[in-house]
């Protein structure tokens, strides 16, 4: 809360529970709106030495102004075009803060609207890109399926031919083995047809 690091006073307005300054044992007499602190006469003297430009007001004066304020009509706060001029610090601050809150909440809303607008724009772009991606891919996928079908047919045919060759070779070997009077018959030519797949052909 304390915006001024030079100020060693720890009596902040929003934390105050006593009416006396614990450091100087004196009644509080002033408020500093700049560093949000409450000051006794000794605090006030020390504070003034290092913070001559701060907005300090006496508590008596503030009480008087608050009493005036509570007797006033608050309806002017709802009128954004009010030209309420006063010397009263608190009333001036209320006017300023109220105008500022309206301006900031308007800014906040319009920034939110911009974010939503950008989100909507990109949402449309995303949808368009998804549709476009699908549109471009679809005929290619169909072509790819057709090619795959042809490829499988050809591979199967090749496998069949190789199997026939192997079968034939095995039979020849078998006959040779029988001619050698060997009881152990084994396949000499291995089945290699599993090697014919798209991945092994392309690698
Ligand atoms: Zn101050
Ligand atoms: Zn003090």
Choose among 146, 168, 164: nearest CA to 156. Answer: 164
Where are the domains positioned within the chain?
1-71, 107-202
Query: Is 83 in a helix, a strand, or coil?
Result: coil
Q: What CATH code is assigned to 1-71?
A: 3.30.160
Lowest mean pLDDT of 77-91, 119-133, 148-162, name the range: 77-91
Distance 55 CA to ligand 1 centre (A): 7
Distance 19 CA to ligand 2 centre (A): 11
What is the structure's pLDDT at 26? Answer: 92
Distance 10 CA to ligand 1 centre (A): 11
155 by Cβ neighbours in 10 Å (0-12 / 13-18 / 19+) ranks as middle
Distance 21 CA to ligand 1 centre (A): 16
Mean pLDDT estimate for the chain: 80
What is the structure's pLDDT at 45? Answer: 93
Q: Looking at the CA of 3, name the nearest ligand.
A: 1
Cα separation, 15 vs 160, whole angstroms: 93
Query: Is 15 in a helix, a strand, or coil?
Result: helix
Q: Is the dihedral of CA 19, 25, 27, 28 positive or negative?
A: negative
| pLDDT, tens digit (0-9, with 9 covering 90-100), for 31-47 | 998 888 999 999 999 99
Lowest mean pLDDT of 102-111, 161-170, 186-195, name the range: 186-195
Distance 32 CA to ligand 1 centre (A): 5
Distance 71 CA to ligand 1 centre (A): 29
At 163, the pLDDT band (50, 70, 90 cuts) reads very high
């Amino acid at each position: 809360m304390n915006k001024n690091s030079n100020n060693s006073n720890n009596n902040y307005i929003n934390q105050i529970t006593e009416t006396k300054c614990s450091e100087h044992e004196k009644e509080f007499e002033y408020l500093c709106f700049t560093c949000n602190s409450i000051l006794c006469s000794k605090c006030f003297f020390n504070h003034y030495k290092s913070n001559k430009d701060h907005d300090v007001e006496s508590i008596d004066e503030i009480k008087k102004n608050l009493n005036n304020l509570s007797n006033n009509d608050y309806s002017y706060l709802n009128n954004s075009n009010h030209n309420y001029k006063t010397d009263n610090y608190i009333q001036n601050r209320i006017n300023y803060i109220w105008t500022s809150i309206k301006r900031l909440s308007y800014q906040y809303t319009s920034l939110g609207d911009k974010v939503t607008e950008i989100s909507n724009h990109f949402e449309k772009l995303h949808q368009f890109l998804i549709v476009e991606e699908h549109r471009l891919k679809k005929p290619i996928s169909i072509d790819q399926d057709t090619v795959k079908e042809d490829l499988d047919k050809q591979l199967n045919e090749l496998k069949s031919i190789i199997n026939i060759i192997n079968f034939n070779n095995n039979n020849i070997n078998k006959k040779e083995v029988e001619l050698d009077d060997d009881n152990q018959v084994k396949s000499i030519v291995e089945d290699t047809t599993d090697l014919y797949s798209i991945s092994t052909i392309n690698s």
